Structure 1
Amino acid sequence: KKIYEDAQAKATEIGKQQVGTIDAGSTFNRGSDKVGDLTGRGNNRGVESTLGDMQGDAALWAANDSLGDGAADIGIINAGGLRNDLDPNNDKIVTYQEARDVLPFGNTNAVVTLTGKQLVTLFEQQWQPAGAQRPVLWLGVSNNVSYQYTTDQETVDGVTVTRGHVFNLTVNGKKVTDDATYKVAGNSFLLAGGDNFTVFQQGTGYVDTGFVDLDGFVAYLKAHPGVKANKN
């Protein structure tokens, strides 16, 4: 019992350590339950969130930090990988425990190469197939990615589903072309095709950094004091 209590006390001590700070005007929450509110709280996995986009930035930074500049072109994360809002007490100080509460699974950071055509498919797969638990699973992406989309309805085996159609996809301000290649950084679960993002299984040049995503996130926070929300 004493060994357990000592370990628990040590873990609590580590959890209280400050690993980052947040800009006074920024919040990093998961998807808001209020439509169109990027800063509100909730657990809506079908909408864009400031926390998701921040994690896209962190994934991109961590891949290039561990593998070298140019190792990744964009960063991405699945909404289901975010298990808590960051800085829930809103004191603008991020502790190790708060960071871990966001990314508790212990996935590793990885990079895989997709063609431009596959990248479009990736974002269209946010609209989930018939039989999926949720109709939409929104991807958090790094700030150098932009796209537009339309939706329509399709009936598959008697089940009506929403389909997304992505256009004007850009990376670093340049339009994505079908035959160009893009190195995508994210967690090992997602890049293996998790959450029905099966296009990742068609990717090439998969590289696992060997670094746990939480460690990469903590390093990102330390390198970006006063981190600001890009789309707040």
Structure 2
Amino acid sequence: MRANYKMQRLYVTSDLAKSAGVAATPDAVNYLANVLRLQDGDEILVFNGRDGEWRAALRFESKKKLALEPLERTRDQPETPDLVYCFAPLKQGRLDYLVQKAVELGAGILQPVITQHTQVARIGTDRIEANAIEAAEQCGVLAIPQTREPLRLEKLLEGWDVSRRLIFCDEGHDTHNPLPALQSIPRGPLGVLVGPEGGFSEQERQALRKLPFVTAIPLGPRILRADTAAVAALALIQATIGDW
């Protein structure tokens, strides 16, 4: 069945099965009861990233206690997208946007990467996970991307699976057209690497270009903010060699 985007969607951590009540968290109770003003017997869609999407009825046991009763599976659980999205962390507002759009555009793994020009010293993976869940709730996504701990760029490349093509956005590329490079990549496992606000250093660019599993692409003639570049890169890759 197609997702019913008119119904409120809620991510839960509990297993989902027919008539097996799921206790709502205090935050969820407050949101459903006080913000959305839903009442006993109203229905929403729930998912946990494992058991598909379910239509569930609200069963209020008190003002602060709510059970969600799964009634019917509306969509089966799809496979998690096989796209590793590597990004240099940004300041909070831009990072939130970047993560949300990455989820919408099919990232299966979110991998923060520390580069020479990365300006954010501390990275909250909890916040990244929360933004990924929020994006999934809003956009009908069922497979929640895995959030990994930050790695320095050198460590990322040392441990990279060479059977997975890594596409990196190279602002110093000698052409503006990304399509020839993308169209030359055979379909298969992919990773995407987007740099920080200051871009990759020349040393990093040269190191990346020497690796046989790396493909460099430009993003056109315009100077883009890092979060804009992230969205542009994912859209180009999905449109050209993506999972459709």
TM-score of the two chains, using structure 1 as the length reference:
0.23
Larger radius of gyration: 2
Larger RCO (CA within 8 A; separation ≥ 6)? 1
